[in-house]
A and B are shown apart, each in its own frame.
Chain A
Amino acid sequence: MKVKNYLLQFHIYLGLFCTPYLLIFALSSLSFNHVSLKEEFTPVKSERIAITLNEDSFDSPRALGEALRDSLHLMGWFIPWESHIDSASFLVNVRNLGRDFRMTGTWGIPEIEFTTNSTRFISMLKGLHGLHEEVPGAPWWINAWGLYQDLTVYSLLFWVLSGIYLWWVSKSRSKSSAFWLIGSFTMSVLLMIYLWLAG
């Protein structure tokens, strides 16, 4: 009886703490099947920032992008396919889940055009679904998201096992519920094996 109570308490409180990630996970998983993956941005602001850059100091768009990101205290990943450098000018792109930063300039002119765009709401959801790596320039609470995600992933197994145990010791356990459990498990596993072998 004691074990059942402890398991139930743990099942409940772990579930309550992980509720936001479960909501994000469920909604973003649905969106992966039904919403376009194409990235779209909405302009937020555009400004000119005074900054002196020496062309010889940067041998690649990545070096320039990461230097600008760090000096402007931005948070995000350098996007190589949206960036380029030539002998006259440059464009570098840094992006995180919520913001897209584009910095353009001309060598020799001590200022850059700095444009901030916002991402779509659904992109944020999808980003939080899979955010596990460290985000360059991010504060600690962003990089701790991976731990929160890990906790939810481990909890999934705990909820499944504790849920089956709680059902097993329940007085109202019925044959129809056992049928649904075994039937759905068998059907899903067979489908996965079929996809593996014949897909």
Chain B
Amino acid sequence: MARRVNLYQLIRQIHMYAAFITITFLVMYFVTGYLMNNPQWFDQEKPAPEIKTISMKKPDVSNEELYKQLKNKLEISGRFHNSWTNKGTTYYEYQSMLRQTIVYFDSTHTTATVKVSDRNTMGSITAYHRLHKYGGPPAYSLYILLMDLASLALLIFVLTGVYMWLSFVKYRWLGVGFLVAGFAYSIWVWLTFVLY
């Protein structure tokens, strides 16, 4: 019995500390999730992008190295996000919380066009939710690491929460009902997409 009580206390402590370490990220998910789910209630207007053309020879280097060179020359903020090719032109996208920058070179690789789009307030706030993948300045990697920890903490909440409910509540049928209802609905939705 003593071992069972101790295990319950241990699980309770894990549940609590996992929550405390990632509590800011849970609040961030609430705020950004609310904004993303209800965009019609907030300002949708985006500032017009600023486009400039500069004379610059494209160096034949990796995306990360190109970012370092462009960052110094063009004062780009944030980090490299993506690159893609369309009709022979390669586009390089850089993102920070406040703006998105797209750089592309002409066919002779001697002129760079830089398009800087400032995010509106809603775009900047939801960028905290949409940030993903490691890379770039250390602060970004630290943030992604904390996001990963928050995701792991959510898994821990679920598992420890279910364990504590099983240990703590004597009359379990109501809880079983809620748990089964949630799973049944989710599986129903999943199967609909697979079989419809």
Which residues does A use to contact B, with CB under 8 Å?
A: 12-13, 15-27, 29-30, 32-33, 75, 96-99, 118, 124, 127-128, 130, 132, 138-139, 141-142, 145-146, 148-150, 153-154, 156-157, 159-160, 163-164, 167, 177, 180-181, 184-185, 188-189, 191-192, 194-196, 198-199
Contact = CB atoms under 8 A, between A and B. Distances in A.
Contacts of B162: 16, 19
B42 to A, nearest CB: 15
Given A33-B132, A180-B17, A185-B23, 14 more contacts: A12-B161, A15-B157, A16-B161, A19-B183, A26-B155, A128-B189, A141-B189, A142-B189, A148-B185, A149-B33, A159-B157, A177-B16, A188-B25, A199-B139
Contacts of A159: 19, 26, 157
Interface residues of B, number: 67
Interface stretch (B64-72, B103-111, B173-181): B173-181
17 contacts: A12-B169, A19-B179, A19-B182, A21-B186, A24-B186, A25-B151, A25-B154, A26-B155, A27-B155, A33-B134, A75-B196, A139-B196, A154-B34, A156-B29, A160-B23, A184-B20, A184-B22
A18 B175 CA distance: 12
A181 B20 contact: yes
A12 B165 CA distance: 7
Would you call the interface of chain A mostly helix, strand, loop, or mixed?
A: helix
The secondary-structure label for the interface of chain B is: helix
